[in-house]
Amino acid sequence: MTAPPYDLAVIGSGPGGYVAAIRAAQLGLRTACIEKYPTLGGTCLNVGCIPSKALLDSSEHFAYARHRLAGHGIKASVELDLGAMMKRKEQVVRDLTRGVEGLFAKNRVTWTKGTARLLSAGEIEVVGASGPERVRARRVLIATGSKAGSLPGIAFDGRRIVHSTDALSLGEVPRRLMVVGAGAIGLEMGSVWLRLGSEVRVLEYLDRPVPGMDRQSALLLQRSLERQGMKFTFKASAKAARVTGHKVVVTVAEGDGTRDQECDVLLVAVGRRPYADGLGARELGVRFDERGRITVDESYETSVPGVYAIGDVIPGPMLAHKAEEEGIAAVERMAGQAGHVDYDCVPSVVYTWPELASVGFSEEEAAQRGWEVAVGTFPFLANGRARAMDEREGQVKIVADARTDRIVGAHILGPRASDLIAELAVAMELGASAEDVARSVHAHPTLPEAVKEAALGVAKRAIHI
Q: Which residues are catalytic?
A: 444
| Measured distance CA(346)–CA(393) in Å, rounded | 25
| Measured distance CA(453)–CA(412) in Å, rounded | 13
Torsion of CA 114, 118, 124, 125, to 10 degrees: -50
CA distances to 15, 176, 213, 241, 319 from 323, rounded to whole Å, are 7, 35, 20, 34, 6
Dihedral sign from CA coordinates of 80, 84, 88, 93: positive
| Measured distance CA(57)–CA(88) in Å, rounded | 11
| Measured distance CA(456)–CA(374) in Å, rounded | 11
Amino acid letter at 461? R
Contact yes or no for 308/142 (Cβ under 8 A): yes
Contact yes or no for 7/138 (Cβ under 8 A): yes
Find residue 360's DSSP bridge partners: 409
Angle at CA 426, nearest 5°, toward 431 and 390?
125
| Measured distance CA(185)–CA(179) in Å, rounded | 10
| Measured distance CA(111)–CA(99) in Å, rounded | 14
Q: Which of 332, 6, 22 is nearest to 138 (CA)?
A: 6
3-state secondary structure of 194: helix
| Measured distance CA(285)–CA(302) in Å, rounded | 9
Pairing of strands 407-414, 355-360: antiparallel
Q: Which of 236, 237, 202 is nearest to 222 (CA)?
A: 202
Amino acid letter at 328? I
| Measured distance CA(438)–CA(335) in Å, rounded | 39
| Measured distance CA(192)–CA(154) in Å, rounded | 23
Angle at CA 218, nearest 5°, toward 341 and 248?
105
Name every residue whose Cβ is closer than 8 Å to that of residue 284 and which is 6 or more positions away in sequence.
118, 120, 121, 304, 307
